[in-house]
């Protein structure tokens, strides 16, 4: 049976089909619109099995897990199960999992906790290509007297462990590095970085928001002390996340209040959310051996585009990358123009982080990689999930050559002006 949930707002009403195919909306009076969703690093479709698992905790089982009565106790048991499911995804102990609201909260909490653990140390090391949920914390900390070293990345988006080693001092409190970059998918050697951090007595924090469910995590044999994940990147809803805190780590909570989460994150638990994250973690673990399917689709998309469209390149290509992500630079055109054209055909992609889109500045990640001007402005990211199909990729492959041809014909820049552009770029670089 298909149930329709109607939502009414100021601008009219929409109905969402319960057994919806990915990315479909029925707008009353209009035909059903479906889209091909290739923006899974921004957020993911909530898995219908996850919705099913969480719904009873919105309707029937609304007790407070901290209550003494059996009604609350029942919910407490479900919270315990969810914690075990997330611990299994981390390959950690259950007591090392703290539920919170999102990746941003996890990163903020981890950074503050690491600094509070060693208040005499005032130096932090991170990379130039972290998410704003990390970089903006450091901006504030710099104003408060901390020194932050931002490790550079190569043309392919990789960090250099020699540079990390050379930056470490006895004053370094924290090394904070993303597991994989959200824009390019390039994977960083976080375990090696953790080993270097350990040699100097520093805490190792890893933003694994883009990694959970895409590559295996193993906190059992790890050099990482604190690790962040976010539900909405792995087919759970928005508003739920988890922080891994290594047993024995001298953790100082960010939110103070009740005793929830063993005093490590006060506030009544988002029970439906964490049940959803537990189920999503279980499904992600089950799906891990099949992630190669997404990789196959991604590789076909990438290889065929490279073959059929001239003057393009894969940003971060030839490195170890997430299996679902490709970031491609199309020379001489604007990435935003490609995205708008794709959107007209119902295809969702992105020009970088959802948190920085809307600004006309080129991505800080691609800039840090030192990409030429022509690629910097013409790069877009396709990010896949287990819900994507061969047909989705076929459609993109059918449309992209036409879109690029049309935009290049309109573009004020072409390969003849490449030399001029290069000169302009060099002039800008030397004027800085
Ligand atoms: N870290 C990375 C690498 C991300 O990609 C994101 C979101 O895009 C975040 C952190 C922030 O996560 P959230 O949206 O759950 O706050």
The tens digit of pLDDT for each residue in 293-347 reads 999 999 999 999 999 999 999 999 999 999 999 999 999 999 999 999 999 999 9
The answer on pLDDT for 6 being more than 70 is: no
Tell the residue nearest (CA) to atom 10 of ligand 1: 103
Q: Which atom of ligand 1 is nearest to the CA of 355?
A: 8
How many Å apart are CA 65 and CA 290, to the nearest integer?
A: 35
Q: Which of 233, 363, 364, 365 to mutate to test the pocket of ligand 1 (most atoms within 8 A of CB)?
A: 233
pTM score, two decimals? Answer: 0.90
Residue to mutate, 108, 355, 363, 381, ligand 1, most ligand atoms under 8 Å from C-beta: 355
pLDDT of residue 412: 76
Contact residues for 288 (Cβ-Cβ < 8 A; gap 6+) = 213, 215, 216
More confident residue, 136 or 424: 136
Q: Which atom of ligand 1 is nearest to the CA of 231?
A: 15
Report the percent of the chain where pLDDT is more than 90: 83
Query: Distance between CA atoms of 269 and 320, rounded to whole angstroms?
Result: 37
Give the residues across from 329 on adjacent strands: 313, 379
Are 276 and 240 in contact, with CB atoms under 8 Å apart?
yes
131 alpha carbon to ligand 1 midpoint, in Å? 7
Q: Can you tell me the distance from the alpha carbon of 148 to that of 145, in angstroms, rounded to the nearest whole number?
A: 10
Q: Please give the pLDDT value at position 15.
A: 42
The residues near 424 (Cβ < 8 Å, ≥ 6 apart) are 373
Expressed in angstroms and rounded, the spacing between residue 81 Cα and the centre of ligand 1 is 25
Q: Which pLDDT does position 2 carry in this prediction?
A: 31
- Sequence-ordered list of residues with C-beta below 8 angstroms from that of 349, at least 6 positions apart, any chain: 38, 39, 338, 339, 342, 380, 381, 382, 383
Among 103, 214, 228, 327, the mutation site with the greatest number of ligand 1 atoms within 8 A of its Cβ is: 103
Rounded alpha-carbon distances, angstroms, from residue 88 to 65, 72, 76: 21, 25, 19
Phi, psi of 202 (to 5 degrees): -95, 155
Q: What percent of the chain has pLDDT over 70?
A: 86
If you average pLDDT over residues 148-162, what whole number do you get?
98
Cα distances (angstroms) measured from residue 63 to each of 68, 70, 158, 278: 10, 9, 48, 18
| Active-site pick, 23, 35, 348, 355 | 355
| Better-scored residue on pLDDT, 224 or 29 | 224
Q: How far apart are CA 111 and CA 203, in angstroms?
A: 9
User: What does the mean pLDDT of the chain come to?
Assistant: 90
Distance in Å, CA 156 to ligand 1 centroid: 22
What pLDDT sits at residue 24?
55
Nearest ligand 1 atom to the CA of 241 is 15
229 alpha carbon – ligand 1 mean position (Å)? 8
For the beta carbon of residue 178, count every other beta carbon within 10 angstroms: 27
Active site residue 355: yes
The protein residue whose alpha carbon is closest to atom 9 in ligand 1 is 103
* Residue nearest ligand 1's atom 8 by CA: 42
For 362, the token pair is 């080129």
| Residue 233 confidence (pLDDT) above 80 | yes
Expressed in angstroms and rounded, the spacing between residue 106 Cα and the centre of ligand 1 is: 9
Angle between helices 335-344 and 390-410 (to 10 degrees): 130
Q: How far is the CA of 431 from the centre of ligand 1 (A)?
A: 33
Ligand 1 environment, Cβ below 6 A: 102-104, 107, 131, 133, 178, 182, 207, 209-210, 230, 232, 241, 353-355
């Amino acid at each position: 049976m298909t149930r329709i949930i109607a939502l009414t707002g100021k601008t009219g009403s929409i109905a969402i089909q319960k057994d919806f195919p990915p990315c479909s909306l029925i707008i009353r009076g209009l035909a059903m619109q479906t889209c091909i969703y290739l923006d899974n690093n921004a957020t993911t479709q909530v898995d219908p099995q996850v919705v099913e698992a969480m719904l009873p905790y919105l309707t029937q089982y609304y007790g407070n897990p901290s209550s003494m009565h059996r009604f609350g106790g029942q919910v407490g048991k479900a919270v315990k199960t969810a914690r075990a499911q997330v611990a299994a995804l981390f390959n950690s102990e259950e007591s090392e999992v703290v539920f919170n609201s999102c990746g941003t909260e996890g990163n903020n909490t981890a950074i503050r906790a690491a600094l509070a653990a060693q208040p005499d140390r005032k130096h932090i090391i991170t990379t130039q290509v972290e998410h704003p949920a990390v970089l903006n914390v450091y901006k504030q900390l710099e104003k408060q007297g901390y020194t932050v070293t931002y490790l550079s990345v190569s043309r392919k988006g990789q960090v250099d462990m020699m540079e990390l080693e050379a930056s470490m001092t006895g004053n370094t409190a924290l090394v904070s590095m993303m597991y994989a970059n959200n824009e390019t998918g390039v994977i960083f050697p976080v375990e090696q970085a953790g080993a270097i951090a350990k040699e100097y007595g520093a805490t190792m924090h890893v933003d694994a928001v883009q990694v959970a469910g895409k590559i295996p995590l193993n906190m059992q044999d790890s050099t990482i002390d604190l690790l962040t994940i976010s539900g909405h990147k792995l087919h759970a809803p928005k508003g739920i996340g988890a922080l891994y805190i290594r047993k024995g780590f001298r953790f100082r909570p960010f939110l103070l209040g009740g005793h929830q989460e063993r005093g490590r994150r006060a506030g009544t638990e988002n029970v439906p959310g964490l049940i959803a994250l537990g189920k999503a973690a279980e499904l992600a673990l089950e799906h891990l051996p099949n992630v190669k399917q997404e990789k196959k689709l991604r590789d076909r998309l990438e290889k065929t585009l490279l073959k059929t469209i001239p003057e393009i390149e894969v940003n971060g290509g030839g490195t170890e990358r997430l299996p679902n992500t490709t970031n491609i630079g199309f020379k001489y055109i604007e990435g935003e123009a490609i995205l708008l054209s794709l959107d007209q055909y119902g295809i969702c992609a992105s020009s970088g982080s959802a948190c920085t889109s809307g600004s006309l500045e080129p991505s800080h990640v691609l800039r840090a990689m030192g990409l030429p001007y022509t690629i910097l402005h013409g790069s877009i990211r396709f990010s896949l999930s287990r819900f994507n199909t061969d047909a989705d990729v076929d459609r993109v492959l059918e449309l992209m050559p036409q879109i690029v041809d049309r935009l290049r014909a309109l573009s004020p820049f072409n390969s003849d002006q490449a030399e001029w552009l290069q000169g302009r770029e060099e002039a800008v670089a030397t004027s800085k």
